[in-house]
Amino acid sequence: MTAQRQITLLMGVLNGARYLPAQLQSIAEQTDRNWHLICSDDGSTDGSTDNVDAFAGRHPGQVTQIRGPGTGFAANYLHMIRSLPEAPGLIAFSDQDDIWMADKLARARAALDRFGDRPALYCARRWVWVPSLDRRRATTAPQAPLGFRNALIENIAFGHTIVLNPAAALVACRAAQQTGDIFAHDWWLYLLITGIGGKVLFDAGPPCLLYRQHGANALGAGQGMRAQFRRKKAVLGGALADRFTLNQAAMDGIRDMLTDEARTALDRFEVARASRTAPRLAALSTLGPYRQSRLATLGFWGAAGLGRI
């Protein structure tokens, strides 16, 4: 195995002992075996570290366990990104409670190989999986273009499907040094790579992993009327506005890395958010942020009209 071709896997861990064995086994069964796993434990008290140690014993030289900052999942992943070497190779992200399809890493490597020195982010579809009901639902591929005006108001890059090529990993490492609190590392990466003019590649092929749904999911992918009600209630309570504020601050911190177009969009979005209703809607109309579906975009405009962005 050569370091140049190695894929470094970044996994945030916190009290995942119940689910870690299945996830770790799915990593061991990857057809692409040139990987190194870094697990950042954020303060587990349930034996998670023992699980990782045992896995490391079965895969000598391929597993490193470090201590996380203890301030939440987003900070834990950002901590790992900041700690990447000066010449990172391919970087993939892993949750602690999923199950990967055996060709997950191989598909990502093959897709990214053609981008050379241009920063590129790979992401993919997933199975939303409810083990207790043995139910799976495949997520859909994006229908609208992937770009910064989409990233301003929506994340389409699911963190546990993301793989960065070396150029994108280097950009992420440098940007992380200038970044404070973020809402989520995957949304931050989508904003970053589109903001610098990099390429985002969404694999519309078969889902690459089983996204386990359970009561302790950091975010989850709830469906149905009850989940929709909870999301709308959260928006009215200011949750969406809080996320936009964190994203805005993170991008402001790396303005020098963004394209002129992205900086202009960022400024217009900030002005629109701070404006009264009529000027806000007019400014947003000029900017043209969008989500991947008409219904989701309509939901954003409803929040904007109510001043909840």
Per-residue confidence in pLDDT tens, the chain, 309 aa:
444 489 999 999 999 999 999 999 999 999 999 999 999 999 999 999 999 999 999 999 999 999 999 999 999 999 999 999 888 999 999 999 999 999 999 999 999 999 989 999 999 999 999 998 989 999 999 999 999 999 999 999 999 999 999 999 999 999 999 999 999 999 999 999 999 999 999 999 999 999 999 876 666 555 555 655 566 677 778 999 999 999 999 999 999 999 999 999 999 999 999 999 999 999 999 999 999 999 999 999 999 999 999
Q: Are β-strands 63-67 and 35-41 bridged in parallel, bridged antiparallel, or unpaired?
A: parallel
Residue 308 DSSP one-character state: -
Q: Crossing angle, helix 260-274 and helix 239-252, to 10 degrees?
A: 140
Cα distance between residue 179 and residue 48, in whole Å: 29
The hierarchical CATH code for the domain 3-212 is 3.90.550.10
Sheet bearing 99-100, strands edge to edge: 99-100, 209-212, 127-130, 135-138
**Domain layout of the chain by residue ranges:** 3-212, 224-305
Helix count (H) and strand count (E) of the chain? 12, 11
In the chain, which residue ranges form alpha helices assigned H by DSSP?
A: 20-28, 48-58, 73-82, 104-112, 148-151, 166-177, 185-195, 224-236, 239-252, 260-274, 277-287, 294-305
The answer to whether 100 and 108 are in contact (CB under 8 A) is no
Tokens at residue 149, please? 């005006």
Residue 99 · residue 22 · CB < 8 Å: yes
pTM: 0.93
